[in-house]
Amino acid sequence: MPLVEITYAPHVPEETLRELGTALPHLISLAVECPEEPYDGDLQAGDVELRFKELGPWDRSGLDFVIEVRSKWFESRAADRQARVDRLHDDIRTATGREDFGIYLSLPVAAWSQGD
């Protein structure tokens, strides 16, 4: 279950944010898919959590938006994490038409629990 934070500049159009909100759950699920957590294409509540945050007056960033993805560490994910994040960057560029953004993929040792 990836946790995703999207920090965006004030000039990023609402339409781009809407596109990200629609495309990211699927694209991120593909990017972090692994034998331990396979992706069947049927996203359910809690599978991918998105949190959007506009840059504040004291924040500094030279990018339109930065996407931070945190997903549980598995050796199979960690082995090719750069290829995963590069592919995700390409997929998001294709989905949004945007060029000026970054993605940070973090694979911490973690656990997750969710009620029904």
What pLDDT digit, counting tens, does each position of 32-67 carry? 999 999 998 888 888 899 999 999 999 999 999 999
The pLDDT of 63-82, averaged and rounded, is 95
Per-residue model confidence (pLDDT) at position 45: 81
Per-residue model confidence (pLDDT) at position 113: 76
The pTM of this model reads: 0.91
Per-residue model confidence (pLDDT) at position 6: 98
Per-residue model confidence (pLDDT) at position 105: 96
Any idea where the domains of the chain sit in the sequence? 3-106
pLDDT for 116 beyond 80: no
Conformational region of residue 41, where left means phi above 0, alpha means psi within -120 to 50, and beta covers everything else: left
The two structure tokens encoding residue 109: 């040792």
The pLDDT of 62-86, averaged and rounded, is 95
Q: What is the 3-state secondary structure (H, E, C) of 50-69?
A: EEEEECCCCCCCCCCEEEEE
Dist CA 86 CA 57 (whole Å): 30
Say whether domain 3-106 belongs to CATH 3.30.450.20: no
